[in-house]
Amino acid sequence: MAAATAVSLQTYTNGTLSVKGASRALLLLVDPDPSMLDYLSASLTQQYSVRACRTIAQAVAALKEGLAPDIAFVESILPDGTGLKLLSELRVLRPTMPVVMTSCTGELRLVVQAVRAGARDFLQKPLRPSDLEEAVHALVIRKPAFAEGEEATELPINENVSFVLCNRRMREIRAQCALVAKVDLPVLILGESGTGKEVVAQYIHKMSARGHKTFLKVNCAAMPADLLESELFGYEQGAFTGAIKSKPGKFEICNGGTILLDEIGEMPPALQAKMLQVLQDGCFSRLGSRTTIQVDVRVIAATNIEMKLAIAEKRFREDLFYRLNGFSLNLPPLRERKDEVPLLVDHFTRKLAKKYECDALPMPPALMTACVGHNWPGNLRELENLVNRWLVLADEHMLLQEFIPNRIEPVASSDQGGLKDMVRSMKDDAEAIAIARALDLTRWNRKQAANELRISYKALLYKIRQYNLFPPQA
């Protein structure tokens, strides 16, 4: 925390107000309104040291002179520019300092811009000292320490799910989630399969004003178009064969809450137009009904496909993409945040030990080293499966063998059909291994596995038959 000498006088010098007290957190307040600065400074000096500025130039000059605030509160409109402009300056001068944007308006566009620029929170005026105190408590005082200054956090979402992180990029995503949760706009979560998109969606829901309402997930790749439409929007009695009574869809059930449209990139084109209407005005009709239903549901979408490519290939509507992309989060794969592997191993060990009612068996150093060095193509799902096998089998040698690349034994004699046949055989073996691995990681979701392998669904079905692959027995 920044130290300051004890004085009781509050004075302006060239438009800058300095208030200092005992050694404690130092707050930088940047606001063009002198009465607001006086009010906040007088209210906060019992607990914090305060440095108040009215312009971008004054704030930048103070930091260049050596001022090291623990947190900054920046008004969105300043006499010599915008708060976003100052925010970009602060990112350069004090990269690790949390910045909170304040504004008289809660305009969605401004909030999104502030999040993308690196703001850690957004407060709408009129401000109360307690608003600033809560932000200081959350962003400065409660900030836990981890190795080399990194933050290790396990945020419980519900009884079975936690948001676990320590990587700098994931901390930024966590901060963005907490901020965007306050604004009721669609969120698009991008990332490879198994990177934790559903966990992030649940965290946004919990942090939002809808956190006490229903959260539902619908997998858009798990069912055909007709069934998906009835699942989302419901149907009336007699709408189709077997519809013996009316049934509400997920949007009706989730009214007031949040719905996660997982694998949105796989939504059939025919259904995308209806989804666009729901996002525009919250209105839709059940299958077989002429009555319009209106709901208030926040939509979070997630996908592992390249959306721009899907749009270019006419597989996904461009207008729907922009409706869904109120704010986007791109989750990095586990291979880009290997520093989180030990933390995640510990989390999964405790979680699964509780599930199996057994001891949380610590992972041996050699196995942990292998885990940290692995690239994890299946991301968190693959890591959790490995921890699961460790707790069940407790066989370190067998698990270490999984990290050794599959080797195809060389063909020693020429009676195998010659060099071309030998190469073809090796290629087929490698292809079969890759397909089997993709199917295993996706729990035999063939459409998802085809996306992971970047081949067509029909090609995957052909390869499954060609190599006589079968799902594991239940």
pLDDT in tens, the chain (474 residues): 333 322 223 433 444 454 444 458 899 999 999 999 999 988 898 889 999 999 999 999 999 999 999 999 999 999 999 999 999 999 889 988 999 999 988 777 888 888 888 888 888 888 888 889 888 887 887 654 444 444 567 888 888 888 888 888 888 898 889 888 888 889 999 999 999 999 999 999 999 999 999 999 999 988 888 889 999 999 999 888 888 899 999 999 999 999 999 999 999 888 999 999 999 999 999 999 989 999 999 999 999 999 999 999 999 999 999 999 989 999 999 999 998 999 999 999 999 999 888 888 999 988 898 899 899 999 999 999 999 999 988 888 888 888 765 444 444 444 445 655 655 666 676 777 778 878 878 878 888 888 888 888 888 888 888 877 777 654
318 and 354, same structural domain?
no
Q: Exposure of 233 by Cβ count < 10 A (0-12 exposed, 13-18 middle, 19+ buried)?
A: buried
**252 burial via Cβ count (<10 Å: 0-12, 13-18, 19+):** middle
User: So what's the pLDDT on residue 294?
Assistant: 94
**CATH number of the domain encompassing residue 294:** 3.40.50.300
How far, in Å, CA of 261 to CA of 220, rounded?
A: 7
Residue 405: its pLDDT value, please? Answer: 58
Q: Does residue 201 lie within any of the structural domains?
A: yes
Domain count across the chain: 4
How far is C-alpha 230 from the chain's CA centre?
28
Predicted local confidence at residue 100, as pLDDT? 93
Residues 375 and 419 reside in one and the same domain: no
- Residue 294 CA: distances (Å) to CA of 232, 278, 284, 319, 428: 13, 9, 7, 21, 53
Last residue of a domain, one of 401, 434, 453: 401
Q: At what angle do helices 269-281 and 225-233 cross, to 10 degrees?
A: 20
pLDDT of residue 324: 93
Please check whether residues 170 and 213 belong to one and the same domain. Answer: yes
Q: Are 215 and 258 in contact (CB under 8 A)?
A: yes
| pTM value > 0.85 | no
| Domain boundary residue, one of 330, 362, 379 | 330
Range of the domain at 107: 11-143
pLDDT of residue 19: 46
- Residue 149 has a pLDDT of 42
Helix (H, G, I), strand (E, B) or coil at 286: coil
Instruction: State the Cα angle at 150 between 75 and 348, rounded to 5°.
Output: 115
